[in-house]
Amino acid sequence: MIMITDLRKGRWLLMLAVFMTLLTACKKEEQIVISGRIADPNMGIPVAGVRVEIWTQHIESGIFVANFTLDGSILTGTDGRFSFSLGSKSYTDIKLIFSREGYFGWESPLNMESVKKNHGIDADFEMIPKATIEIHVLNSEPFDNKDYFEFRILNAFTTCEECCKGEKYQFFGEPIDQVLTCISAGHQDLIIQGLKRKNGEEIVINQSIFLKEFETTVIHLNY
Which structural domains are found in the chain, ordered by start?
Answer: 30-126 (2.60.40.1120), 130-222 (2.60.40)
For 40, half-sphere exposure in the C-beta direction (CA atoms, 13 angstrom radius) is 26
Residue 216 has pLDDT above 80, yes or no: yes
Give the lowest-confidence range in 63-67, 94-98, 111-115, 211-215: 63-67
Could you tell me the pTM of the whole model?
0.80
User: 88: pLDDT confidence band, cut at 50, 70 and 90?
Assistant: confident
What is the three-state SS of the chain?
A: CHHHHHHHHHHHHHHHHHHHHHHHHHHHCCCEEEEEEEEECCCCEECCCCEEEEEEEEEECCEEEEEEEEEEEEECCCCCEEEEEECCCEEEEEEEEEECCCECCEEEECCHHHHHHHCEEEEEEECCEEEEEEEEEECCCCCCCCCEEEEEECCCCCCCCCECCCCCEEEECCCCEEEEEEEEECCEEEEEEEEEEECCEEEEEEEEEEECCCCEEEEEEEC
Q: Residues 17-58: pLDDT tens digits?
A: 444 444 444 444 578 999 999 999 999 999 999 999 999 998
Residue 11 has what pLDDT?
52
